[in-house]
């Protein structure tokens, strides 16, 4: 019994140490989440205004033909997948990777029909082990990434579409709703849709372009696509930190519950040991009388 009680005490101490770690990680994630969420929200006005200008040019100018606006027969598809570098984030990585692999299995019969751009070590390692055709990766992003950190992969994915290496480009990420909810999302990025039908229902500003609408569009369209990729990555970072905060919070609660159960078990074992000792003393006293 003494040996069993010693084991329980050691287990209680181990779980308490684990709870301290998970609680600290929860607080760190909560602090970083606020900054990531603020950064994601700050990027939205720029992308929305850029979208307004691009849509205005594409919908209001006749005869504009740009590779990023033209749909063509789909022979090959590109996917840009946003994951994390580290784990301990609940189902954050598993959810988006499951969605992407299921989508690829449904849409493609051969690995020659698609290519992958992967952000995050978890996604890279998962897909590389399964021999998916990865052509470019980025890892070791900070919790508040800058555009310069992902500029190369964003530019490369957009340029390869323009060059005709593939005919569609999708961005796959976890859309941030709140700290508890992150929605695995797959959005088609290229070719872009011109929202000409909205023009008849919404008042839009009139712009004058120099040197020409086409000249402006050739500069803005790649920047707009890269901005959408960057926005998805910021959303993904906020989702990652939200998932991590929730996972560590649940781990802390589970540790507290486990400590309570172990403490109860220890007290019962201690009480049983004391009762047995008393019984032995009484029995010994009775034997001598």
Residue 199 reports pLDDT greater than 60: no
pLDDT confidence band for 276 (50 / 70 / 90): confident
d(CA 106, CA 190): 20
- Backbone phi and psi for residue 250, each to the nearest 5 degrees, phi listed first: -65, -40
d(CA 241, CA 245): 6
List, in order, residues 6 or more apart from 22 with CB less than 8 Å away: 248, 251, 252, 255
Instruction: Order across the sheet with 114-119: list the strands.
Output: 134-138, 114-119, 77-82, 168-176, 182-190
C-alpha triplet 92, 110, 228: angle, nearest 5°: 45
Residue 197 reports pLDDT greater than 50: no
- Backbone phi and psi for residue 253, each to the nearest 5 degrees, phi listed first: -65, -40
d(CA 80, CA 212): 32
d(CA 59, CA 194): 6
Q: 10 Å Cβ neighbour count for 238?
A: 29
- Give per-residue pLDDT as tens, 138-159: 999 998 899 899 999 999 999 9
| Per-residue pLDDT, 195 | 53
- The mean pLDDT of the chain is 87
Q: Which domains does the chain have, with CATH numbers?
A: 28-246 (3.40.1380.10)
| Per-residue pLDDT, 236 | 93
Give me the residues paired with residue 172 across strands: 81, 186
- Give per-residue pLDDT as tens, 87-138: 889 899 999 999 999 999 999 999 999 999 999 999 999 999 999 999 999 9
Alpha-helix residue ranges (DSSP H) falling in the chain = 2-60, 92-107, 121-129, 147-162, 196-199, 213-288
| Per-residue pLDDT, 222 | 87
d(CA 79, CA 182): 20
Higher pLDDT, 193 or 275: 275
- Give per-residue pLDDT as tens, 33-74: 988 988 888 887 887 788 777 777 777 656 567 788 888 899
Percentage of the residues of the chain whose pLDDT score is greater than 90? 56
CA dihedral 22, 27, 32, 35 (to 10 degrees): 160
| Per-residue pLDDT, 56 | 75
Asked if 9 and 252 touch (Cβ cutoff 8 Å), the reply is no
165-170 mean pLDDT: 95
| Per-residue pLDDT, 60 | 62
pLDDT confidence band for 198 (50 / 70 / 90): very low
Handedness of CA 109, 112, 114, 117 (dihedral sign): positive
């Amino acid at each position: 019994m003494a040996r069993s009680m010693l084991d329980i005490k050691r287990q209680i101490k181990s779980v308490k140490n684990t709870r301290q770690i998970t609680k600290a990680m929860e607080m760190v994630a909560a602090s970083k989440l606020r900054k990531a969420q603020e950064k994601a929200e700050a990027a939205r006005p720029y992308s929305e205004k850029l979208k307004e200008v691009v849509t205005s040019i594409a919908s209001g100018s006749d005869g504009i033909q740009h590779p990023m606006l033209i749909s063509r027969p789909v022979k090959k598809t590109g996917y840009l997948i946003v994951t994390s570098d580290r784990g301990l984030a609940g189902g954050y990585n598993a959810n988006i990777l499951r969605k992407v692999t299921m989508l690829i299995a449904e849409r493609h019969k051969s690995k020659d029909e698609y290519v992958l751009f992967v952000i995050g070590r978890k996604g890279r390692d998962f897909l590389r082990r399964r021999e998916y055709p990865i052509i470019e990766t980025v890892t070791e992003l900070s919790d508040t990434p800058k555009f310069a950190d992902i500029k190369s992969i964003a530019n490369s994915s957009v340029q390869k579409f323009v060059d005709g290496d593939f005919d569609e480009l999708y961005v796959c990420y976890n859309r941030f709703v709140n700290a508890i909810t992150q929605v695995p999302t797959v959005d088609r990025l290229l070719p872009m849709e011109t929202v000409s039908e909205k023009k008849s229902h919404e008042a839009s500003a009139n712009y004058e372009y120099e040197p020409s609408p086409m000249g402006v569009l050739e500069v803005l369209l790649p920047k707009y696509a890269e901005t959408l990729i960057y926005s998805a990555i910021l959303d993904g970072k906020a989702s990652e930190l939200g998932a991590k905060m929730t996972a560590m919070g649940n781990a802390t609660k589970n540790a507290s519950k486990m400590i309570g159960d172990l403490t109860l078990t220890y007290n019962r074992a201690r009480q049983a040991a004391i009762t047995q000792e008393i019984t032995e003393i009484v029995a010994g006293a009775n034997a001598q009388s």
